[in-house]
Structure 1
Amino acid sequence: MKITFTQLTESHFPLLLKWLEAEHVKTWWDQDVHWTNELISKKYANYVKGYKLVHGTPKSINPYIICVDEKPVGYIQLYNAYDFPRSKSLQGLPQCLAAFDVLIGETDYLNRGIGASAITAFLNQYAASYTHIFADPESTNLAAIRSYEKAGFKKIGLQPDTNELWMIKQKSTYIIYLFGHPGTGKYTISQELLKNGFIVCDNQLINNPIFALLNYDGFSKIPEFGWDAIGRIRTAVFEFIAMEQNHNYVLTNCLYENEGDRDCYIQVETMALKRNSIFIPVKLLISEEENLRRITDPSRRARWKSVDPQDVHQREQLIHVDHPHLLELDVSALSAVQAAVNILEYAFKLKNNNGGTHEQ
């Protein structure tokens, strides 16, 4: 059984009409509404465009059709829990909070465990930018509650005035550590991960306060006292990230086989452990020819990055990492987008399969 998701289009409206008028759905969804083609179009036309109007203001919503072995069987939508009015305030719940609604419309697919599997797969794929997921089934909807529990949701309280059972799922957070030689594309890959909900803490964020004060030209050697100052900045940043446990982070660095870089790697690994994040070190490999082309790109100077070809011709050995989650990725022929997709796919598989070493 393969579960996939297709973005909602107007061609799916007849299916929505059929499902929303089905007796087993009607029990829990819009009991007082008699759905027609016109009402479906009126409500969901904006959903197709990715938003819902709230008091005239468009709010993002992500609607999808659930498919089992390519057959449409249900509907699921994801949105920011705070964007839409509720009968009771969510005050006190996590700020980075998504909510979702789901239905299995095809009766032949009920009571087959599809709900829990679809919820888990969907949230892994589309809710990367949220740390917590909220659900509020009616307390008498035992089938939904069982599905949510199988998908990792915990009960947090019954709301007597609405008969809703509030449930929440805390998602695992990631620390992805990209390391490789200068000019392998660490920063550009991190910017693609940024688009998928990660916060970027690249090595230049830490280095540049000192590099700027030295007016670094991309060629000169950094004095030892400069690296000492950078080390203190790095420690402060890592201590902050260890305490800030609500987001996914991607870090970048050039890590060579020496004591200082080994200490830096251990700092990041320890930080991930403290915040109970899934730690994924990613070793970026690249051909010398492609590395030389990238490192001499003049745009690197704007971020105080090395543009010295000698960093390619005299490459030191990258640090040896012995970690079960290590991903070695050759980016010689990959765009930043392709590399980011490979990393994200690996991260999701790792989460679902409880880890493992992977090479590409």
Structure 2
Amino acid sequence: MAPEYVFRPMTVADLPLIRQWLARPHVREWWGDPSEQYELVSGDLDEPAMDQFIVSAGGSDFAYLQCYDLTAWNSGFGDHPRGTRGIDLFIGEPDMIGRGHGSALIRAFVENRLKRGAPRIVTDPDPANTRAVRAYEKAGFEKVGMVDTPDGLALLMVRNA
């Protein structure tokens, strides 16, 4: 049985942990420059269209997840129903990788959002990040196609209500 995941809103007090996670090689590989990403993540704390969460299991924080109103960003993702949300995440703790937590936490979060009225959730992993693509597929996302983002080509993936 999968553990129960807790998604608590991120606060300023979590920023040292976020900085630490962004510097880890397995996060840096896909999220890029830790300082640049830290500025973006910390800068979004006051962004009304962005919800940021620290994910924990068994009382231990291990991941970061952001969920945003797709219409608030000119994402280049094409047309989507009003209320569509985008998500991005990373597992910060290396010992939690490769154990099924990615797909399980994605499924738990997304199913809750869909039940609460979001018509669609989208994400855009790097197509070379096979671990992420597989986790999203296991959580019910479907590959739609390649999109051009400010960070380069990405694989648009969609999960509908």
> Is the TM-score greater than 0.5?
yes
Equivalent residue, structure 1, for 2:61: 72
Contact 1:10 1:45 in 2 (8 A): no
Give the 3-state SS of the residue equivalent to 2:72 in structure 1. coil
Equivalent residue, structure 2, for 1:15: 17
1:285-305 superposed Cα distances (whole Å, 9 cap, x missing partner): xxxxxxxxxxxxxxxxxxxxx
Say whether residues 1:139 and 2:127 are aligned partners.
yes
Give the structure-2-normalised TM-score: 0.86
Q: Go from structure 1 to structure 2 and tell me whether the alpha carbon gap of 1:160 and 1:101 turns closer, same or farther (over 3 Å shift).
A: closer
Q: Go from structure 1 to structure 2 and tell me whether the alpha carbon gap of 1:43 and 1:168 turns closer, same or farther (over 3 Å shift).
A: closer
Contact 2:22 2:38 in 1 (8 A): no
Identify, as 1 or 2, the structure richer in strand.
2
Q: Go from structure 1 to structure 2 and tell me whether the alpha carbon gap of 1:61 and 1:159 turns closer, same or farther (over 3 Å shift).
A: closer
In structure 1, C-alpha distance between the alignment counterparts of 2:34 and 2:131, rounded to whole Å: 24
1:149-191 superposed Cα distances (whole Å, 9 cap, x missing partner): 01100011123783211110001xxxxxxxxxxxxxxxxxxxx
State which of 154, 165, 180 in structure 1 corresponds to 2:155.
165
Equivalent residue, structure 2, for 1:188: none
In structure 1, C-alpha distance between the alignment counterparts of 2:40 and 2:127, rounded to whole Å: 30
In structure 2, C-alpha distance between the alignment counterparts of 1:116 and 1:43, rounded to whole Å: 22
Q: Go from structure 1 to structure 2 and tell me whether the alpha carbon gap of 1:132 and 1:105 turns closer, same or farther (over 3 Å shift).
A: same
Give the 3-state SS of the residue equivalent to 2:49 in structure 1. strand
Give the structure-1-normalised TM-score: 0.40
1:26-79 superposed Cα distances (whole Å, 9 cap, x missing partner): 1111x2x3429xx847852651xxx42xxxxxx421111010101000000111
Compute the displacement of 1:119 (Å): 0.9
Contact 2:54 2:62 in 1 (8 A): yes
After TM superposition, the structure 1 = structure 2 runs for residues 322-337 of structure 1, keeping only pairs within 5 Å, are none
1:88-126 superposed Cα distances (whole Å, 9 cap, x missing partner): x23333333110111000000000110111111112334
Equivalent residue, structure 2, for 1:154: 142
Equivalent residue, structure 2, for 1:341: none
Give, as a single letter, the amino acid of the residue that structure 1 aligns with 2:135: S
Q: Go from structure 1 to structure 2 and tell me whether the alpha carbon gap of 1:118 and 1:12 turns closer, same or farther (over 3 Å shift).
A: same
After TM superposition, the structure 1 = structure 2 runs for residues 271-286 of structure 1, keeping only pairs within 5 Å, are none
In structure 2, C-alpha distance between the alignment counterparts of 1:2 and 1:133, rounded to whole Å: 21
In structure 2, C-alpha distance between the alignment counterparts of 1:134 and 1:107, rounded to whole Å: 25
Give, as a single letter, the amino acid of the residue that structure 1 aligns with 2:57: V
Q: Go from structure 1 to structure 2 and tell me whether the alpha carbon gap of 1:76 and 1:106 turns closer, same or farther (over 3 Å shift).
A: same
Give the 3-state SS of the residue equivalent to 1:75 in structure 2. strand
Equivalent residue, structure 1, for 2:35: 35
Task: Work out the number of aligned pairs and report it.
Answer: 156
In structure 2, C-alpha distance between the alignment counterparts of 1:79 and 1:143, rounded to whole Å: 22
Contact 2:28 2:34 in 1 (8 A): no
State which of 122, 125, 130 in structure 1 corresponds to 2:109.
122
User: Structure 1: which 5+ residue stretches go unaligned?
Assistant: 53-58, 172-360
After TM superposition, the structure 1 = structure 2 runs for residues 27-66 of structure 1, keeping only pairs within 5 Å, are 27-29=29-31, 31=32, 33-35=33-35, 40=38, 43-44=41-42, 46-47=44-45, 51-52=46-47, 59-66=48-55
Give the 3-state SS of the residue equivalent to 1:143 in structure 2. helix
Q: Go from structure 1 to structure 2 and tell me whether the alpha carbon gap of 1:140 and 1:96 turns closer, same or farther (over 3 Å shift).
A: same
Q: Which has the higher contact order (CA 8 A, sep 6+)?
A: 2
| Percentage of identical aligned residues | 27
State which of 65, 68, 71 in structure 2 corresponds to 1:82.
71
Give, as a single letter, the amino acid of the residue that structure 2 aligns with 1:35: S
User: Structure 2: which 5+ residue stretches go unaligned?
Assistant: none
Equivalent residue, structure 2, for 1:203: none
